[in-house]
């Protein structure tokens, strides 16, 4: 057996095409959805993420702006900027890029974002909507995982799902989304007894723990679908050779950059056992920005044109 690799790039492109059709429908009604991204400081990873978000907005013809603020900003100053965006009618989505500097109260800032513009889905009102199964804005990575499963024809209803990780950003929301689709869900964490044994019961295993290569064949039921949410870097040649034996592309990537990407899953042992696997990169990652675009368009529709029906998917 060799796992089918689920192509997140293809699914991302499908979703972007659907968003483009929806945008055209909104523009006919005189509405151009807008996304504002707040970037504090000069964290290299955050700069890349926010640049990619702005680039995707531009590709789709959406209004977007990146508000760059100094790392010395106070909580009160940042709250003023958020409240200004809350008041601006042309801004449908507000995203505060994390992490924020230590002196800033991140929870207070995220709570200040108007729930109808909270395209990250982090506000307690949107979390409450998710818990109770009401319509709302859902965190992007978890909703992207559901798209991968649905569009790859992987059954969720009746499946046994195990989620490793209980973060507010991925672990808890994906568990709820799977449960709402009638999966039987177990959430695992650092205190779970016999973690590999619990994971081996899963038809769908979601690895979102942030430990590179931790999930091995010992964790995987033969034929299971494994969703790898993690992203880390290997900086030692011996680790690249261990996790990607015989993979010339990965070795060339390592030699060119001095590092290469890996998720929470050890592909060398899991690919021969699993039925399907999301690769890193090219699996879950591309869906996060795609679903951010979906959320921005949804936020615009709900706030400015609730009477317009969404354009059906192709």
- Could you list the active site residues? 53, 97, 120
Given CA atoms 296, 300, 306, 312 in this order, what sign does their dihedral have?
A: negative
List the 160-164 sheet strands across, edge first: 4-5, 276-277, 225-228, 204-207, 160-164, 184-188
In terms of C-beta density within 10 A (0-12 exposed, 13-18 middle, 19 or more buried), how is residue 300 classed? buried
CA distance linking residue 172 with residue 178, whole number of Å: 10
- Exposure pattern of 271-283 as b/e (b: 16+ CB <10 Å)? bebbbbbbbbebb
DSSP-assigned letter for residue 215? B
CA distances from 147 to 20, 67, 88, 283 (A): 17, 30, 31, 11
CA distance linking residue 68 with residue 41, whole number of Å: 7
191 contact partners, CB below 8 Å, separation of at least 6:
none
72 contact partners, CB below 8 Å, separation of at least 6:
101
Tell me which residue has tokens 């449908």: 92
């Amino acid at each position: 057996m060799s796992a089918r690799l689920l192509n997140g790039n293809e699914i991302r492109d499908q979703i972007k095409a659907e968003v483009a059709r929806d945008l055209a429908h909104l523009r006919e009604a005189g509405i151009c959805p807008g996304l504002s991204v707040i970037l504090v400081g000069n964290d290299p990873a955050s700069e890349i993420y926010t640049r990619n978000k702005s680039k995707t907005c531009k590709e789709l013809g959406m209004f977007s702006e990146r508000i760059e603020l100094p790392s010395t900003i106070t909580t009160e100053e940042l709250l003023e900027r958020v409240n200004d965006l809350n008041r601006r009618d042309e801004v449908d989505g507000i995203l505060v890029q994390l992490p924020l500097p230590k002196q800033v109260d991140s929870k207070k800032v995220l709570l200040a974002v108007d729930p109808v513009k909270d395209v990250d889905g982090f506000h307690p009102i949107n979390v409450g909507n998710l818990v109770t199964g009401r319509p709302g804005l859902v965190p992007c990575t978890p909703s992207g995982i559901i798209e991968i499963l649905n569009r790859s024809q992987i059954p969720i209803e009746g499946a046994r799902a195990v989620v490793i990780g209980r973060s507010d950003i991925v672990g808890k929301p994906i568990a709820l989304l799977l449960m709402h689709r009638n999966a039987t869900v177990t959430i695992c964490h650092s205190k779970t007894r016999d973690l590999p044994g619990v994971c081996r019961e899963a038809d769908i295993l979601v690895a979102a723990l942030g430990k590179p290569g931790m999930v091995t064949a010992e964790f995987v039921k033969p034929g299971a679908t494994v969703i790898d949410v993690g992203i880390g870097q290997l900086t030692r040649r011996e680790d690249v050779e261990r996790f990607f034996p015989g993979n010339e592309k990965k070795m060339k990537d390592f030699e060119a950059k001095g590092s290469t990407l890996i998720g929470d899953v050890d592909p060398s042992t899991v690919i021969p056992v699993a039925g399907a696997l999301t690769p890193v990169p090219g699996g879950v990652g591309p869906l996060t920005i795609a679903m951010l675009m979906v959320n921005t368009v949804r936020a615009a529709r709900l706030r400015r044109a609730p009477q317009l029906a969404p354009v059906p998917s192709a």
